[in-house]
Structure 1
């Protein structure tokens, strides 16, 4: 028996645990509570976004966002961790070849050995689930060191299961014998070991091992429905093996341990009855077969009990009751046959798929998703054995995944329609605003401002060369300078008419006033020159920005329509691809639906064939009883004569 893990137990422990660095610590069994995660710094936000979706159980969203981030090289600081996460998610969808390529590349790049070993272990587990036994064995062989204790036990179980499925019963027995029976994995190992020994011909050893499992009592370590079901299964296996070896008393002893109500109870009741019959105790067989005959007729054991019960009555000489029971069985078989016809019609009418989806909801696709509830159909119990089978589970999961992909494609097609509307709105807004922007650009006066700046720059150079501060004089100082210059001219003209002392005194006063103004301007020159240079630099910056805006505007007038066209072409191309994928996915969905329905119908047909065999046996037994009654009457009539 192989213990299957949920998506959280497989992908999360492989991918998520690695992603948050817990693969470097001890692993825990799937049933244990997850350990507290160590501190782990997320350096790339886009990698953190992928982890966020992952831990929200949004695996498809996590995978796609991660792949997009890898495409644009947004997770460079978590390259290996991102690859491990992607590989784990691909594994969770059953894409073991793609995941294997990722793990091989990680190994080539020198990923830590512990990470490599865990990756190969989970890869082997997925390959085994899909039936690729040789590939699973090859992946197990790639594990170089010891795994953490919980995974090491599962590693032994997995290798043994691969060997059992490959027909190497003796090799599987050797592997299983090395697993200590001190944990849940060890208990499964003991059961598988017993089966392997029986299949390899070591009946005594196999019986002893299975007997140990079948005798176990519930403890803290071994409790729950899973443990009880395994214990019942071991006892049923022992019971039927004893029946095959013609040891009916041993068979009864084993089968008495099985619970009256459980997954194995019908088989146990049937086998117990046949063990009693083999001991020539038909009366003892009546008890289990009567109980079994009143149960749901969709179980093959119940159908067999309904013809086994009148057989026991006939053995007891109760021919009348036996005949009645056979007739009741034939009537029940006819009713069951009609119910099977109705179930087949419901399957062919498409009701099965819709009912399964309704009774097993879920948004995410995933390889480890399983059916958990019977569909609400008139005779859903006919499908219980079918739904427990691996083939049907995998076929329906493929159909469900196709439905998920179809919904995802439809969602993106709707989004593309929204993107198209957004693009049309932007185009319209651009076309409406462009004339106004062009008009504003014409009124900017940028060339005149540039000329003015050049003129000011020339004046600043001259002011720096003269260094007399006159260029930076304020209006008052300029007025003073003009008055001084005018006074000088007037004094020069009046010198001939003025007395020499007065002319000299006036000239001295004028010189002092002119000197004071010159000194004042000279003192202000450095500060005013520095302010002017800063103002000119600010003007240059503003003019450069304005020039860039004008250039960007001119460029946008040319490039923006081209960008619109590129976006439109991209939307159209994606829309074309989605429209091309939609019919393919729809066709695959229909094909997969037919495959699922064919599997279901094939199972129901087998039930019909089994029912027909039981019906033939019942009619033959009725004929024998009627012949016996006729012969008895003839004998009585002859005796009277």
Structure 2
């Protein structure tokens, strides 16, 4: 399918796949504001921000991390839709095929997968596969819009196969009006025109411009351009049938603003000339003379006008017009030569002025901003194949930008890693200067001494050893008083001796009573000290491990090195692909310039022959008015149409809105989508 059609299809596809996903029956009862998996929520956030590239990246990251949980087939449908929108047909086909592998999936999910597989097959020209996929649709669970487009694709397949009678029958069965039906009618008429069935083709063209216009539609310009193309094509079909008045009517109803009006103006002149209305024929052709000379219709008008003068018997005006045409053709050849030189020595990317936009490549209708040289090649640039290659170049540039960004990021990451390693080395020197092993060993020795003391106290039940300083002082004083009372017993009364013994006994009793509590507290403090000491030793071991082996830095450095290799490999592949695409585009542009040069040379030779013929006729008939001979450059009995069997030649029909109507290389427009979402 043509590039513009694919992009418009992708607009519908990316939105509709999301709608189909969130409308799956298994999640019909859930509020749309809830997500069961944060990664799915991040994906939806980027999707609604129209950052499709990042949305697809989040899906890939989630898949590597184990997949998105709690949302069924929704992530897969979104991934398939965005992949197709970015032109990743193989990936999209694989995703939708996997969805169909499980027959227990809901009908809406299976319908969505079959429908997109049909579209994929159609874009690849695989008519049988597309037809087979459409046949698998469950018509009881299909939306109205999906059913309409499925009918359009089915009829388009018949047209592509050349089964025109079957296609006509299929179109007649489509009752509901839609934009797809308009494109079908146009394609049907174009196919009939290529087959020489102009009389049969005209009613299909009429159906296009008779279809009601939706004024509030976002595609209003598309509808108007399609009408203009249908009227222009019908006019040339009527020229071929000799219905010159009807052709004039159709040509005159084409808007004058689009570039497509050039064909209508040219055809309108020939329709009038064939009715011998020579003055009437001059009006549209003279309008063409005011337009850019690079258009083929303008170039032809420079020959048609003097030819009309000859028919009117104005030999002098004809000779002057032929001379002006000769000069214009010579100037055009000079411009073509300069354009060729510019194209060969300039950077094609700068000439195309392709802006890098990683999201709008396929999800938006875009046309490259063209400079003077590329504008001169508007015919080629408007063709689908060229646009598709330019689109690929834009995608490649986006990938190049992504690789460049990652090159910068990797450099920053390496600098951060080096800075962390440097800081760690400085910290290691600080740790080494503090001599942590000696400090830890001293603390262990002190802990061991304290543990030995506690063990001795427990073994000897030396509860006085656990007394605090104040209590120990009291015990010492009581022991001293008791000892004195024993030495001076003869000098002291019994009461005094008893008091000394009682005071000593009370203190000993108090210490005996608090011994178990104090021992428990000491054991708890000892356990805490052991834990802290173990933590210090473990922390020191971690520091040593980080210094000696760097378990956090080394794996990261290894991953960065592997990423650098991948980037370098992808950079080489990308550069080779970009060179290939650029070379192909340049060759296409040069070939188009050569075709234009040959066409202008033909017109130039015709102008010179006509001038010579008029001079020769004037010399032989000095007193007569020169008239057109049988060897005239353009025969009045037939209009100079590039393709006799095709009302509109896709290679010469350019519109001011290339996204509006897209004709393939054979002259027929593809069925396009409206950008609406499936229901």
TM-score, shorter chain, exceeding 0.5: yes
Hey, what's the Cα distance between the residues in 1 that align with 2:134 and 2:552? 53
CA contact (8 A) 2:348 2:582 kept: no
Residue 517 to residue 135, structure 1, CA distance change in 2 (3 Å): farther
1:424-474 C-alpha deviation (Å, 9 max, x unpaired): 333333333323212324366333433544555566677778889656432
- Report what 1:439 is aligned to: 433
Hey, what's the Cα distance between the residues in 2 that align with 1:460 and 1:594? 89
Hey, what's the Cα distance between the residues in 2 that align with 1:176 and 1:521? 110
Hey, what's the Cα distance between the residues in 2 that align with 1:528 and 1:69? 59
Task: Kindly report which structure 2 residues correspond to 1:131-146, keeping only aligned pairs within 5 A, or say none.
Answer: 136-137=130-131, 139-141=133-135, 143-145=137-139, 146=141
Hey, what's the Cα distance between the residues in 2 that align with 1:42 and 1:625? 85
* Aligned-residue CA RMSD (Å): 3.9
Hey, what's the Cα distance between the residues in 2 that align with 1:369 and 1:633? 65
- Report what 2:640 is aligned to: none
Residue 384 to residue 97, structure 1, CA distance change in 2 (3 Å): same
- C-alpha displacement at 1:130, in angstroms? 5.6
CA contact (8 A) 2:198 2:241 kept: no
- Report what 2:527 is aligned to: 537
- Report what 1:590 is aligned to: 579
Task: Kindly report which structure 2 residues correspond to 1:185-196, keeping only aligned pairs within 5 A, or say none.
Answer: 185-195=180-190
- Report what 1:211 is aligned to: 206
- C-alpha displacement at 1:43, in angstroms? 2.9
Gaps of 5+ in 1: 27-36, 637-641
1:105 correspondence with 2:91: no
SS in 2 for 1:445: helix
- C-alpha displacement at 1:332, in angstroms? 1.8
1:57-78 C-alpha deviation (Å, 9 max, x unpaired): 4443443454344323374556
Hey, what's the Cα distance between the residues in 2 that align with 1:354 and 1:556? 51
- Report what 2:362 is aligned to: 367
Q: Which of residues 36, 55, 72 in structure 1 aligns to 2:65? A: 72
- C-alpha displacement at 1:396, in angstroms? 1.4
- Report what 1:9 is aligned to: 11
1:235 correspondence with 2:231: yes
Hey, what's the Cα distance between the residues in 2 that align with 1:257 and 1:103? 46
| Range with greater deviation from structure 2 (443-452 or 594-603) | 443-452
- Report what 1:63 is aligned to: 56
Hey, what's the Cα distance between the residues in 1 that align with 2:458 and 2:164? 103
Hey, what's the Cα distance between the residues in 2 that align with 1:5 and 1:635? 61
1:287 correspondence with 2:278: no
1:336-367 C-alpha deviation (Å, 9 max, x unpaired): 22222222222222255313216x56465733
1:551 correspondence with 2:544: no
- Report what 1:404 is aligned to: 398
- Report what 1:270 is aligned to: 266
- Report what 1:251 is aligned to: 247
Q: Which of residues 294, 300, 303 in structure 1 aligns to 2:299? A: 303
Q: Which of residues 144, 149, 154 in structure 2 aligns to 1:149? A: 144
1:11-64 C-alpha deviation (Å, 9 max, x unpaired): 641565567x367799xxxxxxxxxx93132633x4444444444444434434
- Report what 1:335 is aligned to: 331
Higher relative contact order (CA 8 A, sep 6+): 2
Residue 406 to residue 220, structure 1, CA distance change in 2 (3 Å): closer
Hey, what's the Cα distance between the residues in 2 that align with 1:309 and 1:108? 66
| Range with greater deviation from structure 2 (573-582 or 598-607) | 573-582
SS in 2 for 1:366: helix
Hey, what's the Cα distance between the residues in 1 that align with 2:419 and 2:487? 80
Residue 635 to residue 516, structure 1, CA distance change in 2 (3 Å): closer
Residue 128 to residue 366, structure 1, CA distance change in 2 (3 Å): farther
1:579-610 C-alpha deviation (Å, 9 max, x unpaired): 44434433332222121111112222222222
- Report what 2:592 is aligned to: 603
| Range with greater deviation from structure 2 (452-461 or 142-151) | 452-461
Hey, what's the Cα distance between the residues in 1 that align with 2:527 and 2:172? 87
Hey, what's the Cα distance between the residues in 1 that align with 2:142 and 2:330? 56
| Range with greater deviation from structure 2 (60-69 or 323-332) | 60-69
- C-alpha displacement at 1:514, in angstroms? 5.2
Residue 354 to residue 250, structure 1, CA distance change in 2 (3 Å): same
Residue 148 to residue 196, structure 1, CA distance change in 2 (3 Å): farther
CA contact (8 A) 2:7 2:85 kept: no
- Report what 2:618 is aligned to: 629
| Range with greater deviation from structure 2 (140-149 or 243-252) | 140-149
| Range with greater deviation from structure 2 (217-226 or 261-270) | 217-226
Residue 124 to residue 341, structure 1, CA distance change in 2 (3 Å): farther
CA contact (8 A) 1:10 1:92 kept: no
TM-score (norm: length of structure 1): 0.82
Residue 280 to residue 510, structure 1, CA distance change in 2 (3 Å): same
SS in 1 for 2:362: coil
Hey, what's the Cα distance between the residues in 2 that align with 1:245 and 1:616? 30
CA contact (8 A) 1:14 1:118 kept: no
1:222-244 C-alpha deviation (Å, 9 max, x unpaired): 67321111111121222222222
- C-alpha displacement at 1:7, in angstroms? 8.9
Residue 17 to residue 235, structure 1, CA distance change in 2 (3 Å): same
SS in 2 for 1:296: coil
- Report what 1:320 is aligned to: 316
Hey, what's the Cα distance between the residues in 2 that align with 1:75 and 1:580? 30
1:167 correspondence with 2:145: no
TM-score (norm: length of structure 2): 0.78
Residue 175 to residue 457, structure 1, CA distance change in 2 (3 Å): farther
Hey, what's the Cα distance between the residues in 2 that align with 1:514 and 1:169? 126
Hey, what's the Cα distance between the residues in 1 that align with 2:5 and 2:326? 40
1:243-302 C-alpha deviation (Å, 9 max, x unpaired): 222222332232232223324312122222222333343343233223234322222222
1:188-213 C-alpha deviation (Å, 9 max, x unpaired): 34434544566678766643342133
- C-alpha displacement at 1:159, in angstroms? 3.8
CA contact (8 A) 1:252 1:275 kept: yes
- Report what 2:655 is aligned to: none
Q: 1 or 2, which has the higher helix percentage?
A: 1
Hey, what's the Cα distance between the residues in 1 that align with 2:126 and 2:343? 30
Residue 461 to residue 88, structure 1, CA distance change in 2 (3 Å): farther
Gaps of 5+ in 2: 626-679
- C-alpha displacement at 1:542, in angstroms? 1.2
CA contact (8 A) 1:255 1:268 kept: yes
CA contact (8 A) 1:243 1:275 kept: yes
- C-alpha displacement at 1:316, in angstroms? 2.6
1:108-160 C-alpha deviation (Å, 9 max, x unpaired): 35654423433443454455446555555555455445543334333333443
